[in-house]
Amino acid sequence: MIERAEVLLSVQSASKIYKMGEIDVPALRDASIDIRDGEFLIIVGPSGSGKSTLLNLIGGMDRPSDGSLSFLGEDLAHYSDRKLTLYRKEQIGFVFQFYNLIPTLTALENVQVAIEIAQDPMDPMEAIRLVGLEDRADHFPAQLSGGEQQRVSIARAIASNPRLLLCDEPTGALDIETSKQVLGLLKRLNRELKKTVVLITHNSAIAGIGDRIAYIRDGRFASIDENTEPTPVEEVEW
């Protein structure tokens, strides 16, 4: 793994300051990182360190206060709302801690939501099959367990064939066994479908499964480590 992979998205000295009335809350200060195409990047940091803020910038859901973000050379920091929306639609798949499934749609229909507007989508049933839920396709979120719901949300994230899969504490609300299933699934998608995965966690036990591990503290990267030998998901202990 010595040869340098292509950089998919580059964050340069990005900062984000939230204005809360009179007070400025710096959520991100001068953070820089290159995300390589096809890697499984894990970002670890304590609560409030700026992980979600960074992921939202990468995912085109927000713009930095300063610094730049470029996706394959395109400057995201100055994209209009329209272009950011398009970017999210075409390049990004998002997985949240709280699934965010639409409660009035079945599993399959939740996946169709993403497909409906996508350029080059998968077959929705194929996405469902990839996450192993083919026999629950007709169930509503309320009829599914947390882990199953998270798998539906992953199916929805990959259904539009994005290059970049952003996961914000995807196992935050799950127990160990279910978490392992979900992580294993993400690993598989990374390996087999060549999706670039950025996964946030404040659980350092998970960190070992990534190709690289970035430690974030107080809105900056403290260190970014190459992990030449990722731990197989089954062997993770916490």
Partner 1 sequence: MVSRTLLRKTRRDLMSRKGSLLALLAIVTIGVGSYLGMSAVHRDLDGARHRYYTEYRLADFQVDLKRAPEFEIERVKNLPNVSEVRGRVSMAVLLDLPDLAEPISGTAISMPETRTPVLNDLHLSSGSWFTGRERREVILNDSFAKANGIQPGDRIKALLFDKQHDLLVVGTAISPEFVYLIPPSGGLAPDPARFGVLYLPEEFLQESCDQEGAFNQLIGTTHDRSDKAIDSTLDDIESRLDLYGVANTARINETASVKFLADDLEGLRVSARVIPALFLGVAALIMNVLIGRMITQQRSTIGTLKAIGYGNLAITIHYLGYGVFIGALGGILGIAFGTWIHSAMLGLYRTFYTVPDIRPHVFPDLWFLGMAITLVFAMFGTVRGIRYAARLEPAEAMHPPPPERGNRILLERIPIFWNPISFRWKMILRAVFRNPFRSAVTILACVISTGLILMTLSNVDALDYVMDYQFAKISHEDLTVGLRDPVGMEASQELKLLGGVSEVERQLSVSCDLRNGPYEKRMGILGLVSNNRLITPLDSENNPIPIPEKGLVLSERVAEILHVKVGDTLNVRALIGSREEVTAPVVALVKTYLSLAAYARIDYLNRLIGEDSSANVLLVKLHPGKRSGTLYKELKQRPSVIAIGERARAFSQIDATFGKNMGVMIAITVFFSGIIAFGSILNTALVSLSEREREVGTLRVLGYTPYQVLQIFSGESFLLNSIGIVFGFGAGVGLVHLIATQYSTELFRFPAVIHFFRVIETGSIMVLIIGFAQILVFLLIKKLRWLEALQVKE
Among 15, 49, 52, 91, binds Mg ion (CB under 5 A): 52
Give residues with Cβ within 8 angstroms of 12, minimum separation 6. 32, 67, 68, 69, 70
Q: Does 25 bind ligand ATP (CB under 6 A)?
A: yes
Among 15, 53, 65, 181, binds ligand ATP (CB under 6 A): 53
**Between 106 and 179, whose beta carbon lies closer to ligand ATP?**
179
98 binds partner 1 (CB under 8 A): yes
Cβ atoms of 134 and 107 within 8 Å: the answer is no
The correct pick among 82, 120, 192, 238 for binding partner 1 (CB under 8 A) is 82
Residue 196 binding Mg ion, by CB under 5 A: no
Q: How far is CA 64 from the centre of its chain?
A: 18
Q: Which of 112, 122, 15, 110 is nearest to 69 (CA)?
A: 15
Q: Cα(182)–Cα(168) distance, rounded to whole angstroms?
A: 13
Of 48, 98, 132, 217, the one binding ligand ATP (CB under 6 A) is 48
Single residue of 13, 104, 145, 204 touching partner 1 by CB under 8 A: 104
Residue 119 engages ligand ATP in binding (rule: CB under 6 A): no
Q: Contact, 127 vs 189, CB < 8 A? A: no
Residue whose token pair is 């690993």: 187
Give the orientation angle of helix 107-116 with respect to helix 146-159, to 10 degrees: 20
Residue 5's binding partner out of partner 1, ligand ATP, Mg ion, none, with CB under 5 to 8 Å set by partner kind: none
Complex with partner 1: residue 159 or 189, whichever CB lies closer: 159
Tell me: does residue 15 bind ligand ATP (CB under 6 A).
no
| Residue matched to tokens 């998901």 | 233
Q: Which residues of this protein are in contact with ligand ATP, per CB under 6 A?
A: 18, 20, 25, 27, 45, 47-53, 202
